[in-house]
A and B are shown apart, each in its own frame.
Chain A
Amino acid sequence: DSHIQYERVGADVTMKCGSMDWDAAVTWTANGTDIDESHLNGSYLILKNVDLSQSGQYSCYEGSSWHLKYQTYLRVGTPPKEPVLMCRSNNYPKGFYCSWHLPTPTYIPNTFNISVIHGTKDMVCEKDAVPKNRCHIRYLQLFSTVKYKVTLTVTNALGKNSTTVTFDEFAIVKPDPPESVVAKPVPNNPRRLEVSWQNPSSWPDPESFPLKFFLRYRPLILDQWQHVELSDGTSHTITDAYAGKEYIIQVAAKDNDIGTWSDWSVAVHATPWTEEPKHLTTEAQITETTSASTSSFMAPPTTKICDKGAVVGSGAMAVCWTAGLVVAAYSVLFI
């Protein structure tokens, strides 16, 4: 008869050959391979300081008859470390979800148990099929002053561990990033880019719970982002783009009044509209670029970048200088 045996990494394991006497003649195999007699103490199998590679099926056969007397499946692992638990409401005011994971694997099966207490009430967190390690709860009441206390307990054959998080209803509100971000050049406008996006589909009621947005953009050649905060609407026109430069653009969302900003959306790239070149000969190209340089490198005064609200303190001066140098360098290149 066979069963499973769980042991800690580094432990010393002694396996008995079922009901056989200590002095019986037996042969042990590990995953079908005979084990050397040096590991035996009588009919007991001794494994010292076990490691993960020693997991497998161990069988014990009586010496002469080769009858299978005992079989076990050895699983080497570790007791669980303190799990990481996070709760978030990306669908306010419907409810929230909690997700968890172990910081290091245990290599053996674990069971997770989650409890949610709201004041004196126990609430049930329904486990999601996909992804695993996640459960969700529906709010029964809104605008609660009482905190939620969520405790996650991890248990396996070698031990258990737990962690607790406590939070207010408002503190965990964090929408998903905006979706379908699109950035397009504006015909006949070399300094503009039109950006539009949609509310995240997981946000159930943008009418009563409107979102505000944060847009950030920069040309690929610069490291410093420019930021715009928008209290309504799902589109914005950038009017100070460097002509001809490819831009990277992202948007984030937040409930108008509570919670925290979403992660940044997927980045989109766009280049402002540029005039079509008219000639293909080299001479004409030089003429074209020198005349174009006076219009497309009428770079915005560097103060524009510095004036954007997000750049503060001594960093602002550094950006002004950097931007000024970059502009000067490009202008020199095209002269």
Chain B
Amino acid sequence: SPTGDSWGIFTFLCAALCNLPALPALNCSEELGAGQSIQQTYDLTRYLEHQLRTLAGTYLNYLGPPFNEPDFNPPRLARAERVPSATVDLDLWRGLTDNARLAANYRAYSRLLCYLRVLDGQVGTAELRHRLAHFCASLQGLVLSIGGVMSSLGYPLPAGPAGPPAPPGAPAAPNDFLKKMDDFWLLKELQTWLWRSAKDFNRLKKKVPPAVVTLRLEARGF
């Protein structure tokens, strides 16, 4: 079959080039797998979205009314703007380059993970702690997965808070109610990001099929 032939040629090229001492950084298996890791990242966002539904339900009940009421629709306070928002102009979103699209996701989840870890240290019940810990681990997996896709496509990882649990310059909430509002918006933004990411990765899936990797080799001057 035609696809079989081009894969054969490509694998040969890859093997030949990978053996050149001048290209120690070129990792063919990573580039070949870009299409597959996008699919895996997409699947991970769907899994997390599903997990979040249970986690959010439990957490909002822990916060108590009005946070756990389905119609609760508070205005967005200025302090909540620290949490990265998935909201974006439609044409802008359409026009994002693959790099920008991936970077936005990477940055958002890195920061959301930080905030969630802070939350983890504060919650009361053992059940919640357990759920949060599990969710943070999965979210960490998502950040790494996005990073992996970016590396395999040759994009630099965005600099930013990857380690420290407390985001720099985060003022503590002055009272209990505002603290709960922060938690509410954090969960909402997380949920919206996961919905958005499914769409982001759908677009990436279509635009980065395995065959495009040959172009990358050419762009590197070979």
A and B held together in a complex: yes
* Interchain CB contact under 8 A, B195 and A141: no
Binds A, one of B60-68, B71-79, B117-125, B166-174: B71-79
Q: List 10 A-B contacts (CB under 8 A).
A: A142-B88, A142-B196, A143-B86, A145-B85, A208-B199, A209-B199, A256-B202, A257-B195, A257-B198, A258-B198
The yes or no answer to B189 lying at the interface (CB within 8 A) is: yes
* Interchain CB contact under 8 A, B202 and A209: yes
Nearest B residue to A93 by beta-carbon distance?
B90
Nearest B residue to A95 by beta-carbon distance?
B90
Q: Which B residues contact A (CB, under 8 angstroms)?
A: 46, 49, 71, 73, 75-76, 85-90, 93-94, 185, 188-189, 191-193, 195-196, 198-199, 202-203, 206
- Give the number of A-B contacts (CB < 8 Å): 63
Assuming the contacts A119-B76, A210-B202, A257-B46, asked whether A145 and B89 have C-beta atoms less than 8 A apart, the reply is: no
Q: Which A residues contact B (CB, under 8 angstroms)?
A: 93, 119-120, 139-147, 149, 166, 170, 207-210, 256-258
Cβ-defined partner of A145 (8 Å) among B71, B189, B198, B203: B189
* Interchain CB contact under 8 A, A257 and B76: no
Measured between beta carbons, the chain A residues less than 8 angstroms from B206 are: 207-208
Q: How distant is the Cα of A170 from the Cα of B75 in the complex, in angstroms?
A: 19
Q: How distant is the Cα of A141 from the Cα of B49 in the complex, in angstroms?
A: 21
* Interchain CB contact under 8 A, A146 and B89: no
* Interchain CB contact under 8 A, A257 and B89: no
Query: Which DSSP category, helix, strand, loop or mixed, fits chain B's interface?
Result: helix
Query: Which DSSP category, helix, strand, loop or mixed, fits chain A's interface?
Result: loop
Measured between beta carbons, the chain B residues less than 8 angstroms from A93 are: 90
Known: A145-B85, A209-B202. 19 other contacts (CB 8 A): A139-B90, A140-B89, A142-B87, A143-B87, A143-B88, A143-B93, A143-B192, A143-B193, A143-B196, A144-B87, A170-B195, A207-B206, A208-B94, A208-B206, A209-B199, A210-B202, A256-B198, A257-B198, A258-B195
Q: How distant is the Cα of A305 from the Cα of B206 in the complex, in angstroms?
A: 36
Nearest CB of chain A from residue B209's CB, rounded to whole Å: 13
Q: How distant is the Cα of A170 from the Cα of B196 in the complex, in angstroms?
A: 10
Which 6 pairs across A and B sit closest by C-beta, in order of nearness?
A257-B198, A143-B196, A143-B86, A147-B73, A145-B188, A145-B192
Nearest CB of chain A from residue B18's CB, rounded to whole Å: 33
Assuming the contacts A120-B75, A258-B195, asked whether A141 and B46 have C-beta atoms less than 8 A apart, the reply is: no
Nearest A residue to B198 by beta-carbon distance?
A257
Cβ-defined partner of B202 (8 Å) among A146, A147, A149, A208: A208
Measured between beta carbons, the chain B residues less than 8 angstroms from A149 are: 73
Measured between beta carbons, the chain B residues less than 8 angstroms from A140 are: 89-90
Nearest CB of chain A from residue B197's CB, rounded to whole Å: 9
Q: How distant is the Cα of A140 from the Cα of B75 in the complex, in angstroms?
A: 19
Q: How distant is the Cα of A170 from the Cα of B73 in the complex, in angstroms?
A: 15
Q: How distant is the Cα of A161 from the Cα of B132 in the complex, in angstroms?
A: 45
Measured between beta carbons, the chain B residues less than 8 angstroms from A257 are: 46, 49, 195, 198-199, 202
Nearest B residue to A138 by beta-carbon distance?
B90
* Interchain CB contact under 8 A, B73 and A141: no
Q: How distant is the Cα of A141 from the Cα of B93 in the complex, in angstroms?
A: 9
Measured between beta carbons, the chain B residues less than 8 angstroms from A207 are: 206
Measured between beta carbons, the chain A residues less than 8 angstroms from B188 are: 145
